[in-house]
Amino acid sequence: MTGEIIVHDEAFRFLVNPAAGLKKLCSGMLWAEGPVYFPQGDYLLWSDIPNNRMLQWTEGLGMRVYRSDSRNSNGNTRDQEGRLVTCEHLSRSVTRTEPDGSRTVLAESYGGKRLNSPNDVVVKSDGSIWFTDPSYGILSDYEGKQAPQEQEGCFVFRLDSATGELTLVADDFVKPNGLAFSPDESLLYVSDTGLSHQADGPHHIRVFDVVDGVTLRNGRVFAQIEKGVPDGFRLDRQGNLWSSTGGGVQCFSPAGRLLGEILIDEAVANVTFGGPKNNRLFITATTSLYAIYVAVSGAV
């Protein structure tokens, strides 16, 4: 039942506030994804990929169209200057929206070949931009445009914002998807949603050690999602990971132990923390945007 809170570990009782309740903020999307909160304006942006638009939600004002031609945008984040950074399926690029509204292409190719379809993105404290590049946006016209894959695989990249150099940091994924750093940035979590197009494909989150802030080592499985796939996720300040699933949101301890769940009757694509105290969990779930106040704040 949507809104039901399931406790698997007593520690979860200190992370949620059942009295707050899950609230549906708006609906009408085809596939809601990529939520990002902007504290300077106290609003949320997210993508409605098949409808080729980005939407904005503000407390007291509700939902409005933020960008009517988003190039089938997917994942979004903020950089260190508070600018919007976006993964675009249709243009097969990662872009930045400048303060004057203009668009800057940050990455669109690697090794002289077009990227697949950048999916999710995070910005590290040093300004570097890390993103995943599965092939979802070129598999059909539904979330982008069907096209041949030019890259030899589906990779995870790091973009040096100072030099513009794009580096491949992980090449052993089937469909790399969501990603997020631990609060101290010593770890990078990356999901693999290969189950979406492969019967025996992965449906787990892996974790890597971040070496010297630029490379990944010692990749291992952190947690596996049994219902659906772990599309997008975020971490709280305590290092707990809040992940999307096919039946809601699951929360895992830093050790990978399932602590609890927030059930939703729609497949969840992604989550982010926001609100003035950064303690409101915003959830994009297929056709709808949900939110719930929790008892912990987001890592960033």
Whether 120 contacts 87, CB under 8 Å: yes
Q: What percentage of the chain has pLDDT greater than the value 70?
A: 100
At a CB cut-off of 8 Å and minimum separation 6, what does 48 contact? 29, 30, 31, 32, 33, 54, 55
- The two structure tokens encoding residue 73: 């945008």
Rounded to two decimals, the pTM is: 0.98
Average pLDDT, stretch 42-57?
98
Q: Tell me the per-residue pLDDT of 117-155, one tens digit each, with 9 for 90 and over.
A: 999 999 999 999 999 999 999 999 999 999 999 999 999
Sheet order of strands, 43-48 included: 32-38, 43-48, 53-58, 62-67
Inter-residue long-range contacts of 220-223, CB under 8 Å, 24+ positions, other chains counted: 222/189, 222/252, 222/256, 223/252, 223/256, 223/258
Average pLDDT, stretch 102-107?
98
Q: Tell me the per-residue pLDDT of 56-101, one tens digit each, with 9 for 90 and over.
A: 999 999 999 999 999 999 999 999 999 999 999 999 999 999 999 9
pLDDT at 1 over 90: no
pLDDT at 300 over 80: no
Q: DSSP state, 11?
A: G
Q: Tell me the per-residue pLDDT of 153-177, one tens digit each, with 9 for 90 and over.
A: 999 999 999 999 999 999 999 999 9
Q: What percentage of the chain has pLDDT greater than the value 90?
A: 98
